Structure formats: C-alpha cells, structure tokens
Amino acid sequence: MAEKAETSGQREKENESKKSGPPPVAKAYLLLYNGLLTAGWFVVLYRTVLYSIDHAPSWRSDGIPTSVPGLYDDLRLPLRVFQTAACLEVVHVAVGIVRSALFTTFIQVFSRIFMLWGIVEGVAGTAYSPGLLLVAIAWSATEVIRYSFYFFALIDAIPYPIKWLRYTTFYILYPTGVTGELMLSFAALPVLKASHQWSTSLPNPYNLSFSFYYFLMFFMALYIPLFPQLYGHMISQRKKVIGGGAKSKQE
C-alpha cells in the first residue's frame, strides 16, 4: 500500500498547496476534526496504559498476558467512536479538502474498520486476546501523534518533537500493531470455523457461497507482501523528512 515515489513536479505542487492550504471553512473543520481525534485517541491510550499498570502484576513472569479481560469494556466506546470517525478521511480526500491517494486512504481505513467491527466486535471471544492490548497501544499512540501532526501542519507550526515522533515511532508501533491484528485474527479463526458465522453455503436462492473463515485467512495472508512494502516506504519517507545530513535540516 505504499505510495509511489514523488517527482520534483509533484513536490512543487505539494509545496504550493501547503502554502495556500484548504479554504478557511475547510481549514477550521479540519482543525476541529484533527483536534478532537487527537484527544479521543489520547483517551484510548490513557485507558490502555492504566489497564496495563493495574493488571501487569497478574501477568506471566515474562510480562506477557494470556488474556485481557475487561480491557475492551474500558475501550469499547472511544474505539467505536474515534476509529469509525476515520471513515471521514476517505470523504476528505474524495471532496478534495485533503490531498492524498483515495485508494490508499480507503484501504488503510477499511483494514482498521474491518478489524474493529468485523473481528473484535463481530466474533465472540476475540476481545480477550492479548492481541487487543497490542492493537490498542499501537493504534492509539500512532493516532495521537498523527492527528496532532496534521493539526499543527494546518497552522504551519509543527513542533520538531511531533515531527520526529511521526517519522520514527513506526519502527516499533507498526510491527506491534500488525502483530496484534494477526493475533486477533488467529483468535477469531476457530470460532468462525465452528460457527460458520457470516458464511453461506450452497444450495441457496442466490446460488452463491461465501466463507468468512477463508476470507479472513486471505486477509491475513495479505500482510505477507504488504507489510514489507509499506514498512520500507515509511523508512524511505523518514530519510527524506528527517534523515541525517544538510538536506534534511533545510527541509
């Protein structure tokens, strides 16, 4: 899902668009949107940290929990609200108030929505998987940094610590999130296989069959080619933005 390398012409256009920015009404809306989602994801991060502090003494000696009962009860409302609100990002790109690749934005948002509503909410028992803890930490920390970065970018005043975090924390947070998502998916597989949930078999009036179990396996397999590609893209972006040397300092 990595974006194509930028040409010099594309970068010039981006610089021009940054100077002009979105119209005043759109800018005010985006400031409100990014500010609210920064605060919302901070709530998720704060509750996740509190849960970890409270329950860590009962975890295994290596610090890894075998189950996370009660975590989703603490996170359910803010996760539902603020992750679902990310669907507006697709709208922002579609109507032109945010410049980004529409398909890439859609895929990124869909994968999160699918994991939340299709797996955690949709398949019984998955919310007890320790993968939820990894996902909550990775998603919330990433989004607090990302939305605050967008907020400050709108007013042309990005603090360097935010910029550095934006292009550095992915080294740990991205693999952490992917690991958590795969753990949640693995936890869902036995339930889906036994229950045939959200699946249909022949014969039926529509003459169509669908197995959510095999669809999830296919979805999980996509991580194999996509993770290295996107991870490599993020590393290259970091080198462009804050990599060492005089060029990065001028940027």
d(CA 112, CA 21): 28
| Residue 53 exposed, middle or buried by CB count within 10 Å (0-12, 13-18, 19+) | exposed
Choose the catalytic residue: 29, 121, 128, 174.
174
Pair 158, 149: CB distance under 8 Å: yes
The single-letter code of the amino acid at 132 is L
CA distance 192 to 216: 9
Catalytic residue (choose from 181, 206, 214, 251): 181
The answer to whether 142 and 192 have CB atoms below 8 angstroms apart is: no
What is the rounded CA–CA span in Å between residue 136 and residue 79?
9
Residue 167 bears catalytic tag: no
CA 138, distance to chain mean position in Å, is 8
Closest by CA position to 97, among listed 29, 153, 34? 29
Would you call 174 a catalytic residue per the annotation?
Answer: yes
Angstrom distance (rounded) from CA 154 to CA 21: 7
Active site residues: 174, 181
